[in-house]
Amino acid sequence: MRICIIGAPVDLGADRRGVDIGPNAIRYAGLSKQLQRLGHTIHDIGNLVVPQPESGSEGNLRLKYLDPIVQVSEELYHTVSNALQDNEFPLILGGDHSIALGSIGGVGSVHKDVGVIWVDAHGDFNTEETTPSGNIHGMVLAALAGLGHRQLTHIGGWAPKLNPQNIVIVAARDLDLGEQTLLKQHQVHVFTMSDIDRLGMSAVMEQAVALASRQSQAIHLSLDMDCMDPHEAPGVGTPVRGGLSYREAHLAMEIIADSGQLVSMDVVEVNSILDRENATAQLDVDLILSALGKKIL
């Protein structure tokens, strides 16, 4: 497989420095070399240029840094779309989770009714009315489903990008009250850590793949490293105790790989300022490898 690596060093959606270093930290952890060992061909196009507004220029405090986030999302949208049309697998390195506006939007322009498996401690299903922080990385999944501010929902000029019933959130354990209501109203499938505890990761992921692929054989994987327990992944901006173990995360990736339906992937929220000896970026690389075909035997 020919993999197009796209760096999206966006930190505006989280309003916290550190995740902008994430793409290069993941590369430094040996991503390209290890993917090549699996037999993949690598086309690394480097990092997109992200506008950096001056301190104190957040704009609307319920939609912080809206304009520059929209600007870079539009560029990422077209970059991902072009990679898919060139028969490449887009692997997008974040940056915060606001990059999914462009990454999933670009996938949706090529693969209609794409399903999304969103592995994350958070739902990211707020709008400007429900957000407790104004940080856009917590609104992106709702925007992709057509909810929220028009500039966010209409990246690429159309909306919605996703049918909410084709979205599966895995490893949730920190959902805001407003987004809980929206998730239920729009029938988004949510597997919490309690579900994983009761059912086991294997059963949860088999269901997740089946649900995400009901309308299309194409699945996009969005992997937020705060899905992991903080002991496993210390370098994230919004850690939540009680997350996935090392083996649970690898099993999740292996089941997605075995489905044969993965067409694109983004990995987000590696905060190198908070990391220890690049451990979170290295774990990210390990999980990417499992999602793209690496097996124990």
User: Of residues 176, 229, 248, 269, which has the active-site annotation?
Assistant: 269
Residue 286 falls in the annotated catalytic set: no
Q: Does the annotation count 137 as an active-site position?
A: yes
| CB 97, CB 137: distance < 8 Å | yes
Active-site residue (options: 40, 88, 96, 97): 97
CA dist 242 and 220 (Å) reads 25
Give the C-alpha separation, 182 to 125, whole Å.
7
Residue type, 208: A
Instruction: Tell me whether the omega of the peptide bond preceding residue 160 falls within 30 degrees of 0, making it cis.
Output: yes
**Residue 74: active-site member:** no
* The one catalytic residue among 11, 20, 124, 284: 124
Q: CA 223 to CA 202: how far, in whole Å? A: 17
| Annotated catalytic residue 97 | yes
Residue 149 annotated as catalytic: no
Count Cβ atoms below 10 Å from residue 29 Cβ, excluding itself: 20
Helix (H, G, I), strand (E, B) or coil at 185: helix
Give yes or no: 96 in active site.
Answer: no
Element (H, E) at 204: helix 201-212
* Given the residues 20, 88, 224, 286, the one annotated as active site: 224
Exposure on the CB side of residue 3, measured as CA atoms within 13 A:
26
- Rounded to whole angstroms, the Cα distance separating 175 from 264 reads 26
Question: Which of 252, 216, 18, 237 is closest to 118 using CA atoms?
Answer: 252
What gap in Å lies between CA 268 and CA 212, rounded to an integer? 20
Catalytic residue among 179, 226, 248, 284: 226
Among residues 20, 40, 74, 122, the one annotated as catalytic is 122
226 is catalytic: yes
User: Quick check: is 189 catalytic?
Assistant: no
Tokens 């059963």 appear where? 203
The residues carrying an active-site annotation are 97, 120, 122, 124, 137, 224, 226, 269
